[in-house]
Structure 1
Amino acid sequence: MNKENNYILDRPEDDLGYLLLRTTTLWQRQMTIELHTLDLSFTQCMILISLGWLLQNSDDVVQMEISNHSNFDRMMVSKTLRTLQQRGLIKRKEHGTDTRAKCVFLTNKGIDTLKKVIEIKTNINNYFFEKLEIKDSIRKELKKLIN
């Protein structure tokens, strides 16, 4: 086999993109395992968390805001919200001024579930990232990439 090539690849363990992907995959896998106890998918969890964050700052949260905040596709958010509504975790009502939009709210069951999700996420974050000595600087640097 010809070992000559016209490209140079970093070793995976030296490539930031690869390391970020591996880290994210491992963290998401652990989240998925724990969320199974609540019968929630990872996507459902992230949408519940986004909705919770948005509701802390606004009384009228619409689907597009959830999509923008979570960075999930609008159709994915719509489908997931429908599932969460069927499970009694959220409710939707007509927006006061925009007839095309519906406001999304957590039900009492949704609030209880969100509290459990936050506890799971907090525990996994603490366990998963405890080895990092510079969490705050990593957080600051990652924010630069997404803002």
Structure 2
Amino acid sequence: MSDEGLQTEFGHADESPGLLLWQVTNRWQAAQRAALAPFELTHVQFVLLASLTYLAISGEPVMQRDLAAQAATDPMMTSQVLRALEQKGLIERRDHPSDRRAKSLVPTEAGAALANRAVVAVEACDREFFGPLGARTGQFTTDLRSLRDRRL
């Protein structure tokens, strides 16, 4: 075993933005899991159901790829989660109006109602979790968007 320890550019672990993001994300996800437990939804199920409910307002057909892009989720994982939501009766796959080979997605009435009840709990959880940022919350959100939108 080496006595040199970890060869890092940081003098202390709390200086690493990646480690801090990991730790904060884990705590935020735990808070979201607790907030969503009464609705019997996982966080990814909520995100996809809420995103579909949001996108469906336009009246345009929503394809699985559109939903995955909106939610920034892996297409294969999106497919698996959509199957679970469909089995719960929260979404439906319908024939696409202009492409006979394709299916479009729509939330069921029960799915849209559940998304709208759950979003209240999710947003309350976010207010509590990010509350210590106070007036800096808007700038934090802007900074997160800039990181999300970077092309690597």
Calculate the TM-score normalised by the size of structure 2: 0.87
> 5+ residue gaps in structure 1?
none
Deviates more, 1:120-129 or 1:72-81: 72-81
Deviation >3 Å, runs of 4+: 1-6
Within a 5 Å distance, the mapping from 1:91-130 to structure 2 comes to: 91-130=92-131
AA of the residue aligned to 1:63: Q
Report SS of the residue matched to 2:77: helix
Shift of 1:15: 1.1
Tell me, yes or no, if the aligned pair for 2:32 and 2:125 is still in contact at 8 Å. Answer: yes
Shift of 1:28: 0.9
Pair 1:64 & 2:65 matched: yes
Shift of 1:32: 0.9
Tell me, yes or no, if the aligned pair for 1:50 and 1:66 is still in contact at 8 Å. Answer: yes
Tell me, yes or no, if the aligned pair for 2:36 and 2:122 is still in contact at 8 Å. Answer: no
- What is aligned with 2:8? 8
Shift of 1:86: 1.4
Pair 1:77 & 2:82 matched: no
Q: Distance in 2 between matches of 1:5 and 1:31?
A: 35
Report SS of the residue matched to 2:92: strand
- What is aligned with 1:143? 145
Q: Distance in 1 between matches of 2:125 and 2:55?
A: 22
Deviates more, 1:3-12 or 1:121-130: 3-12
Shift of 1:9: 4.3
Q: Distance in 2 between matches of 1:146 and 1:27?
A: 17
Q: Distance in 2 between matches of 1:70 and 1:122?
A: 16
Shift of 1:58: 4.5
Shift of 1:55: 2.0
Calculate the TM-score normalised by the size of structure 1: 0.90
